[in-house]
């Protein structure tokens, strides 16, 4: 048994309380009542991906969010000319949260670079929970808006001259 497989087996043993702790720490669920986060933790599942497996494919429906429990993923985007590799991320990487809120297509392909295990929550299960607890949606949307503004501010600091030259403006003007 290799160390990657041993690590995956150790993660298999984590239970409801571990899922709950993970969800409580995610910024998207910041301020959501504990009872609701408990429901989401109960509805979340674990999925394993072998090296090379796609967690999501660019252009396909993004209908789940993922939290990497172990392993590493690579994020790429196909352009007209070539595939561009953006980053490799490991344990603790969270993505797909916007897919919980609406019907969107993935802008990137996220592929397991190593054997990987994720905590996964589907949009269907999230929306059923939101129907039962509708007061969570304004809080979650506020968390998303806060994230967008923080990201855009950092992006503009790093690329202000380029954006000004191209006449590009950001999402906060939406």
Say if residue 3's pLDDT is above 50: no
- In DSSP notation, 106-134 reads -SSEEEESSSEEEEEEEHHHHHHHHHH-T
Average pLDDT on 113-137 reads: 96
* Predicted pLDDT of residue 88: 94
Which two three-digit tokens encode residue 44? 């979340």
* Predicted pLDDT of residue 5: 40
Give the distance from CA 15 to its chain's centroid.
Answer: 20
Pairing state of beta strands 64-70 and 116-122?
A: antiparallel
pTM of the predicted model as reported, rounded to 2 decimal places: 0.84
Say if residue 137's pLDDT is above 60: yes
63-120, pLDDT tens digit by residue? 999 999 999 999 999 988 888 888 899 999 999 999 999 899 999 999 999 999 999 9
Which two three-digit tokens encode residue 100? 């919980």
User: Could you give the CA distance from residue 68 to residue 166 in angstroms, rounded to a whole number?
Assistant: 36
């Amino acid at each position: 048994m290799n160390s990657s497989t041993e690590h995956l087996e150790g993660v298999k043993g984590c239970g409801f309380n571990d899922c709950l702790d993970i969800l409580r720490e995610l910024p998207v669920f910041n301020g959501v009542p504990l009872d609701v986060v408990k429901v989401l933790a109960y509805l979340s599942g674990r999925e394993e991906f072998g090296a090379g497996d796609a967690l999501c494919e660019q252009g396909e429906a993004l209908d789940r969010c993922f939290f990497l429990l172990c392993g590493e993923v690579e994020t790429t985007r196909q352009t007209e000319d070539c595939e561009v590799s953006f980053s490799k991320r490991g344990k603790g990487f969270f993505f797909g949260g916007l897919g919980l809120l609406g019907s969107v297509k993935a802008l990137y392909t996220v592929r397991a670079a190593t054997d990987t295990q994720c905590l996964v929550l589907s949009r269907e299960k999230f929306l059923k929970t939101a129907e039962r607890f509708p007061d969570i949606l304004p809080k979650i949307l506020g968390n998303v808006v806060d994230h967008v503004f923080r990201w855009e501010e950092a992006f503009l600091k790093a690329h202000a001259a380029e954006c000004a030259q191209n006449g590009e403006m950001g999402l906060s003007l939406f």
